[in-house]
Amino acid sequence: MPEKPAHSSSNKGGSDLISMLEPYFTTQAPFQIPTNGREMLVSWLPWINLVGGVLCVLLFLSLLGLAGVVTTVSVVAGYNPGVYIWIPMLILLAQGVIHLVAFPGLRKNKLNAWKLLFWADVIFFVYNIANGFVYPSGLISGIIGAIVSVLIGMYLLFQVKNYYK
């Protein structure tokens, strides 16, 4: 029986998702960002992400104190929010840390830093969905907001991907 060829691990996991989505946000997109716009975005991207990462971490720390109070009051009132209040906060923290970790690589136009931003976008999408489940009255608007934000974020990211090596 002939041996099956070994698969390269470099195209596994996230790279498969990236290569699957890339045509939709580049060649098949209704329009392309002009070259000068892409170059401007590449030059600003590290700083935008640094500010975004710091804001995410500060928001997490603020929400941490608020969540402690809300959880205590809820338990006293006979309602236990459980992990539903903590999961979106941890996702927010993860996104902020990813943005901060990506900063040095973005300044050097490294593809690994670009991939970190890709995953931060995915995490933000998950965060919006999880947040909708914490506040069910906002579930539909959370899903719509998550879809719109991930489409815009992915479009911008894929438009500048070829600047990162």
The rounded distance, in Å, linking the Cα atoms of 107 and 63 is 30
pLDDT for position 83: 72
Q: How far apart are CA 92 and CA 148, in angstroms?
A: 18
CA angle, 111 as apex, 47 and 41 as ends, to 5°?
35
Prediction pTM value? 0.79
How many whole angstroms separate alpha carbon 16 and alpha carbon 131?
Answer: 27
DSSP for 52-113, written as a single string: HHHHHHHHHHHHHHHHHHHHHHHHHTT---GGGGTHHHHHHHHHHHHHHHHHHHHHTT-HHH
Contact between 93 and 107 (Cβ < 8 Å): no
Torsion of CA 139, 144, 147, 153, to 10 degrees: -110
Q: What pLDDT shows up at residue 58?
A: 96
Per-block mean pLDDT, blocks of 10 residues, the chain (165 long): 44 77 94 96 96 95 86 76 76 92 97 95 83 74 87 96 96
Assess contact for 155 and 121: CB atoms under 8 A. Answer: no
From 63, 53, 42, select the one nearest 100 (Cα to Cα).
53
